[in-house]
Amino acid sequence: MVAALSACGSAAEPGSDTSGVRAPTGPTRPDALPTRSGLIDAQVVQWRDWRSVDDRTLEVTVTAGPADCYGAEPEVTESETAVRIRIRVGLLPEAAGKECLAIAKESVVPVQLTSALGNRKVEPLS
């Protein structure tokens, strides 16, 4: 589904001019994957982290392909004590036949809750 590629590069030669190249400053926010059903070849992916955006919205961090080709389908079950989340990632139907980069990126998936999170635990849905 999503393959990781690594790039090899060489260090700058001593005395070479690298003034036109700047490293990113500060943390960058991962792209948000579009959420929808009907994804092609959707697979369950492990999510690593989450953060609360507001009382009823979470952002779950996953590794996936670029957001212009891949989307996510979150599945959520809620109880009084826990919110359980499963994320499927797959190719967007409109990206079928399109040339998509085979890179793995950190992305976020917005997840809507039916009730405020409150003090409930957030954990994977198995």
Q: Where are the domains of the chain?
A: 31-124
Q: What is the pTM of this model?
A: 0.74
Q: What is the pLDDT of residues 23-58, one digit of tens each?
A: 445 556 788 999 999 999 999 999 999 999 999 999
HSE-CB for 54 with a 13 A CA cutoff: 3
Q: Which residue has the tokens 């003034």?
A: 19
Instruction: Tell me what the mean pLDDT of segment 83-112 comes to.
Output: 94
Q: Residue 2 pLDDT more than 90?
A: no
